[in-house]
A and B are shown apart, each in its own frame.
Chain A
Amino acid sequence: MPDDDAREDAHKSADADVEDKEKSAAPAPDDEVAAAVVERFPGTVFRRSHGQPVVYVNRAVWAELGTFLRDEQQFTQCMDVTAVDHLVDAERVSVPGVEPERFEVVACFLSHPRNRRIRALCEVPPADASVPSLTETYPGANFAEREVYDMFGISFTGHPDLARILMPDDWHGYPLRKDDAPSRVPVTFKEDPSPR
């Protein structure tokens, strides 16, 4: 059956194409810092997001990544630490090689001498919402990590003073989580006998 053979061949080559595409979907980083990070921390996935270099790292090496970036890659400042709750996303960018979890912790680093930025993301499951703290390397991440803890309930191990920062100390819940609806929480003040 020559037709069937031809189809079989076509099928095989299509499969091969898909495999090739999957392989090429995790491309070699075209950013030198990202390339160094991928080499240093195996399992890291590189992605270019609207022109900006982004690395998805395993959260176990989150603090080591900070040390590596500061000491070996001249990243002088950690500009921002924040988090995202992907619970109710209508659509989410799927990055091949990254197992998506509910939370994502994001840190933006800036190198003044090399005048470049890099953004690092790590996936955090809600069952064990904790990430090593960057404050050892970048003391400036202190407030930002407290804010993430306050708003998302993600704890940072090794943080010197992990307490609520924006919400009252006796607040229950984590306001920026998607299942914490703003309308459900009555407005209340500290030591107010009954919520209004």
Chain B
Amino acid sequence: MSDTPDSTEDTDARTRHVFVSDPALTRLTDEGSQELVVTGGPWPEDEAEGDTMIINMGPQHPSTHGVLRVMLELDAETVVHAKPVIGYLHTGMEKTGEELTYVQGATNVTRMDYASPLANELVFSMAVERLLDIDVPPRATWIRMYLVELNRIASHLLFQATNGLDMGALSMIVYGWREREETLRLLEKITGLRMNNNFIRPGGVAAELPDDWQEDTLALCDVVEKGVREYDELLTKNPIWEERLQGVGVITTEQALALSASGPILRSTGFPWDLRKAQPCLAYDDVDFDVIYTQNGDCFDRYRIRLLEIFESIKIVKQCVEKMPQGDYRIQDRKVTPPPRARIDESMEALIHHFKLFTEGFKVPAGETYVAVESPRGEIGCYLVADGTGKPCRLHIRGPSFYNLQSMSPMMEERLIADAVAVISSVDPIMGEVDR
């Protein structure tokens, strides 16, 4: 390094990057290097007038839950405008879905909303079954409902953990993960995988439940219930928590409806809409549970709804343990279901059948359908178009997070930038599903 000053061009290039709010506060020394002078006194008043700054929050920001980028137009610390920018996790899963057979399809869709993979598989499988005009046996229906509710518990526990982390209640990430891990352990025992289970498939579910699933489930329910009561004690009446979330990120029912929001966001505005009650699929008609909704439409209410929904899901899971019917766990239709493992050893036809099913898949008659179920984040839908071949012509998943992100702007605007973090967290977006 020489002591002689650089050429003028380089100096210009260096000084250009220094943010100068007021030229009077900066003076250039004779050498051309820049020096900032700290002066006292109040902030000049005329600067705030119509002087907004645009900053990018994300895509690499720890509180944006993955790769969400929010462009914020700020007037001092107040958010004037917020625009979510997405696509950083786009992997073309809908295009991939057109290249995979219906048997392989569940493996693909399960990776979209990775916090509640079973809801994705469920909606895809139900769409395929509707196009095939088949009904799954009652036990398969109940196993599906049981698994989706377990998954809802895991997903809401994940929200409790990350929401606490984002708000500065750092112990929540540890507590939330503790219970979530127990839930995932049970899911792993049943499905073989913690996440991306690929267990709900067209025609039923992949395997029978393990022998002692009832005891495991009841034990898990106790653990989760105890844990969630702890969160409730830790957070709900906590003045810091209330201060941080109450009245923050408010959205009205009209706004939520207009912006196609669903799930806890819509329910937090005093609109008791839950597809499990309103348009029941599976066996939701036969179980007793309540739809949780609140009136204020703020971040606190969305936290509260997700907390209480864990108790409702536990209720459903316990009823599943009680009422689980006996029978087949998948449809005994050879067109869709592979032959049992034992048959493959003794029958050549069964071997061929098995091979054909997993290489070519089954054909679905031409048609189109839209199926929607309630995922932890809202209405997840599957629009499926078949053209009579073994692969779908179009597979579209309506990701609830994708639509819920739109309601982020009215929640953030005219609020402080510090509340933006609370809003992002309370929308609970899963970017895998947003970008697909």
Query: Could you tell me which residues of chain B, from 173 to 196, have a CB within 8 Å of some CB in chain A?
Result: none
Query: Of B278, B383, B387, which contacts A90 at CB under 8 A?
Result: B387
Contact B394 A85 (CB under 8 A): yes
Of the stretches A29-37, A71-79, A123-131, the one at the interface is A71-79
Most chain-B Cβ atoms within 10 A of its Cβ — which of A51, A143, A175? Answer: A143
The reply to whether the CB of A80 lies closer than 8 angstroms to some CB of chain B is yes
Q: How far apart are A160's CB and chain B's nearest CB, in angstroms? A: 12
The reply to whether the CB of A38 lies closer than 8 angstroms to some CB of chain B is no
Contact B406 A80 (CB under 8 A): no
The reply to whether the CB of A162 lies closer than 8 angstroms to some CB of chain B is no
Query: Could you tell me which residues of chain A, from 27 to 84, have a CB within 8 Å of some CB in chain B?
Result: 49-52, 54, 76-80, 82, 84
* C-alpha spacing A115/B275, complex, angstroms: 10
Contact B387 A91 (CB under 8 A): yes
Query: Of B95, B370, B403, which contacts A140 at CB under 8 A?
Result: B403
Contact A50 B381 (CB under 8 A): no
Q: Which residues of B contact A141 (CB under 8 A)?
A: 260
* C-alpha spacing A92/B367, complex, angstroms: 7
Contact B383 A92 (CB under 8 A): no
Q: Which residues of A contact B435 (CB under 8 A)?
A: 166
* C-alpha spacing A175/B99, complex, angstroms: 13
Q: Which residues of B contact A78 (CB under 8 A)?
A: 260
* C-alpha spacing A54/B398, complex, angstroms: 18
Total residues of chain A contacting the partner, CB 8 A: 43
Across the two chains, which residue of chain B brings its CB closest to A54? Answer: B368
The reply to whether the CB of B94 lies closer than 8 angstroms to some CB of chain A is yes
The reply to whether the CB of A26 lies closer than 8 angstroms to some CB of chain B is no
Contact B95 A182 (CB under 8 A): yes
* C-alpha spacing A114/B90, complex, angstroms: 36
Contact B260 A79 (CB under 8 A): yes
Contact A139 B259 (CB under 8 A): yes
* C-alpha spacing A93/B368, complex, angstroms: 9
The reply to whether the CB of B31 lies closer than 8 angstroms to some CB of chain A is no
Q: Which residues of B contact A50 (CB under 8 A)?
A: 130-131, 133, 367, 369
Contact A80/B261 with A50-B369, A112-B273 known, Cβ cut-off 8 Å: no
Contact string, B367-389, partner A, CB cutoff 8 A, digits 1/0?
Answer: 11110100000010101010111
* C-alpha spacing A90/B393, complex, angstroms: 9
Q: Which residues of B contact A159 (CB under 8 A)?
A: none
Q: Which residues of A contact B87 (CB under 8 A)?
A: 164-168
Contact B95 A176 (CB under 8 A): yes
Most chain-A Cβ atoms within 10 A of its Cβ — which of B92, B261, B262, B271? Answer: B92
Contact A52/B369 with A106-B383, A115-B279, A140-B261 known, Cβ cut-off 8 Å: yes
Q: How far apart are B382's CB and chain A's nearest CB, in angstroms? A: 10
SS class of chain B's interface: helix, strand, loop or mixed?
mixed
Q: Which residues of B contact A79 (CB under 8 A)?
A: 260, 262, 372, 379, 381, 398, 403
Q: How far apart are A173's CB and chain B's nearest CB, in angstroms? A: 12
* C-alpha spacing A144/B257, complex, angstroms: 15
The reply to whether the CB of B86 lies closer than 8 angstroms to some CB of chain A is yes
The reply to whether the CB of B114 lies closer than 8 angstroms to some CB of chain A is no
Contact A143 B403 (CB under 8 A): yes
* C-alpha spacing A119/B381, complex, angstroms: 13
Q: Which residues of A contact B394 (CB under 8 A)?
A: 82, 84-85, 176
Contact A52/B406 with A91-B387, A140-B261, A175-B95 known, Cβ cut-off 8 Å: no
Contact A49 B406 (CB under 8 A): no
Total residues of chain B contacting the partner, CB 8 A: 43
Contact A140 B383 (CB under 8 A): no
The reply to whether the CB of A102 lies closer than 8 angstroms to some CB of chain B is no
Q: Which residues of B contact A151 (CB under 8 A)?
A: 94
Q: Which residues of A contact B271 (CB under 8 A)?
A: 112
Q: Which residues of B contact A90 (CB under 8 A)?
A: 366, 387-389
Q: How far apart are A126's CB and chain B's nearest CB, in angstroms? A: 16
Contact A89 B387 (CB under 8 A): yes
Contact B258 A138 (CB under 8 A): yes
Q: Which residues of A contact B311 (CB under 8 A)?
A: none
Query: Could you tell me which residues of chain B, from 79 to 134, have a CB within 8 Å of some CB in chain A?
Result: 86-87, 90, 92, 94-95, 99, 130-131, 133
* C-alpha spacing A108/B398, complex, angstroms: 10
Query: Could you tell me which residues of chain B, from 393 to 422, have a CB within 8 Å of some CB in chain A?
Result: 393-394, 396, 398, 402-403, 405-406
Contact A166 B258 (CB under 8 A): no
* C-alpha spacing A167/B394, complex, angstroms: 19
Most chain-A Cβ atoms within 10 A of its Cβ — which of B133, B278, B385? Answer: B385
Query: Of B366, B396, B402, which contacts A93 at CB under 8 A?
Result: B366
Contact A139/B258 with A175-B95, A182-B95 known, Cβ cut-off 8 Å: yes
Contact A82 B396 (CB under 8 A): yes
* C-alpha spacing A119/B257, complex, angstroms: 18
Contact A138/B368 with A50-B130, A86-B393, A167-B87 known, Cβ cut-off 8 Å: no
Contact A89 B393 (CB under 8 A): yes
> A: which residues have CB within 8 A of B?
49-52, 54, 76-80, 82, 84-86, 89-93, 106, 108, 110, 112, 115, 117, 119, 138-144, 147, 151, 164-168, 175-176, 182
5 closest A-B pairs by CB: A140-B260, A91-B388, A166-B87, A166-B90, A89-B387
Q: A108-B370, A144-B260 are in contact. List 12 more A-B contacts (CB 8 A).
A: A50-B130, A79-B372, A80-B398, A84-B394, A112-B273, A115-B278, A117-B370, A140-B403, A141-B260, A164-B87, A166-B435, A176-B394
Q: List 20 A-B contacts (CB under 8 A).
A: A49-B368, A50-B369, A78-B260, A80-B396, A82-B394, A90-B366, A91-B389, A92-B387, A93-B367, A112-B278, A115-B279, A138-B258, A139-B406, A140-B258, A140-B406, A144-B403, A147-B402, A164-B87, A166-B87, A167-B87
